[in-house]
Amino acid sequence: MTDCPVCMSDQIERVLKWDEYSILRCCSCHLLFSDPIPSLDKLNAYYQGFMFRKPNDRIIQRLTGKKTDELKRLFDLGSEGFRGGTKTFLDFGGGTGVAYHAAVGLGLDAYYYDLDEDSIEFVSNKFGLKEEKLLRNPAVSGMTFDYIFSDNVIEHTPDPLGFVRQLYAMLNDGGVLVLKTPHACNAEVWFNPVLLVKEYISKALKYNAFSVVARSCVRGFWHCDPPRHLYSFSAGSLRQMAVKLGVLKGACEITYYPAPMFSNTITEHLFLSCNRPQGTKGILLRILASPMVLVEVVLQSGARVLESCGLISPGGIIVRLTKNDAVRSNV
């Protein structure tokens, strides 16, 4: 059995089988990871257009406002932002480009990178992304940035330690790297029965005995579902990555965030989605699903209350790395 790809511990346990892969857990840093890791060619083919959802104008406006507030908070930009493009920003794995668009609105000299050609085309058409602001190969671009933002990308990368090392090396002195990713084994999933059953339990039962799935559910195995998500990170595994990079404790901050309200729920699908069923069929579905919607409202509201009290763990985790003099010379 392979060693942990983050902390290099050989204390590894097999959680369950997932199609042609095994999901393993590091007993030291609590990282969940796939074995084997799919090839780069397979991953590139898998992701072309797979994760891209084209938002409409109303959703773009709402998401841009939220992302603007989030970038101000995560990068300590203050209330005014920047004018004149004096600070550089990279949206790495930017998808629909909302973070790139928000950064431009804040006056940052913003750049964009994504593997998916559909996403690149959308951002170019919708937000006026120019070729000179599009990074085709960040590793050889030679560019450095004051701020780098990577939202739910690291869990898809074959080599997460190398991924963070590359982004960290692209920071200017005093620069900040923010990574967002699903939180391994979080308790928030229990308050979304549709997600729990549809995306995890039902799929796990295809390849494992009921007793194995039940035991894995008790301990939590969320968000590692190869070839989509190759890893699921805990706070311990992210701190270990920072240590491997030579980042001192004071320059690494770990925080948490909840999953979007009603994300991956019947309520979202039937009432909130821009692609919700229309016509007579849609009306009937909404009537029939009303009892379940009430249950979801109670569960989602209860999860928020419990999270605010610190009684359950949220669905997302954030690591913020600052590159400054408090960094060891071996980075």
* Residue 329 confidence (pLDDT): 40
Task: Taking residues 139-164, report their average pLDDT.
Answer: 94
Task: Answer yes or no: is pLDDT of 82 > 60.
Answer: no
User: What's the mean pLDDT when you consider all of the chain?
Assistant: 91
% residues pLDDT > 90 (the chain): 79
Task: Answer yes or no: is pLDDT of 149 > 60.
Answer: yes
Task: Answer yes or no: is pLDDT of 42 > 90.
Answer: no
* Residue 84 confidence (pLDDT): 53
Q: Is residue 167 part of a domain?
A: yes
Per residue, the 3-state secondary structure of the chain, as one string, reads CCCCCCCCCCCEEEEEEECCEEEEEECCCCCEEEECCCCHHHHHHHHCCCCCCCCCHHHHHHHHHHHHHHHHHHCCCCCCCCCCCCCEEEEECCCCCHHHHHHHHCCCEEEEECCCHHHHHHHHHHHCCCHHHECCCHHHHCCCEEEEEEECCHHHCCCHHHHHHHHHHCEEEEEEEEEEEEECCCCHHHHCHHHHHHHHHHHHCCCCCHHHHHHHHHHCCCCCECCCECEEECHHHHHHHHHHCCECHHHEEEEEECCCCCCCCHHHHHHHCCCCCCHHHHHHHHHHHHHHHHHHHHHHHHHHHHHHCCCCCCCEEEEEEECCCCECCCC
* Residue 90 confidence (pLDDT): 98
Task: Answer yes or no: is pLDDT of 330 > 50.
Answer: no
% residues pLDDT > 70 (the chain): 94
Q: pLDDT-derived band of residue 28, with 50, 70 and 90 as boundaries?
A: very high
**C-alpha distances in Å from residue 49, one per residue of 45, 46, 57, 107, 131:** 9, 8, 20, 30, 20
Task: Taking residues 269-295, report their average pLDDT.
Answer: 90
Task: Answer yes or no: is pLDDT of 80 > 70.
Answer: no
CATH number at residue 109: 3.40.50.150
Q: Is residue 307 part of a domain?
A: no
Task: Taking residues 259-280, report their average pLDDT.
Answer: 90
Q: Is residue 288 part of a domain?
A: no
Q: Is residue 87 part of a domain?
A: yes
Q: pLDDT-derived band of residue 67, with 50, 70 and 90 as boundaries?
A: very high
Task: Answer yes or no: is pLDDT of 249 > 90.
Answer: no
Q: Is residue 153 part of a domain?
A: yes
Q: Is residue 129 part of a domain?
A: yes
Task: Answer yes or no: is pLDDT of 328 > 70.
Answer: no
The span from the CA of 40 to the CA of 128, in Å, is: 30
pLDDT for 110-133, tens place per residue? Answer: 999 998 888 999 999 999 999 999
Name residue, tokens 């980075």: 331
CB atoms within 10 A of CB 152: 16
pTM: 0.92
Domain enclosing residue 113, as ranges: 55-184+249-256+314-322
Task: Answer yes or no: is pLDDT of 26 > 60.
Answer: yes
Q: Is residue 237 part of a domain?
A: no
* Residue 129 confidence (pLDDT): 96
Number of domains, the chain: 1
Q: Is residue 73 part of a domain?
A: yes
Cβ neighbors of 125 (< 8 A, separation 6 or more) are: none
* Residue 41 confidence (pLDDT): 85
Task: Answer yes or no: is pLDDT of 185 > 80.
Answer: yes
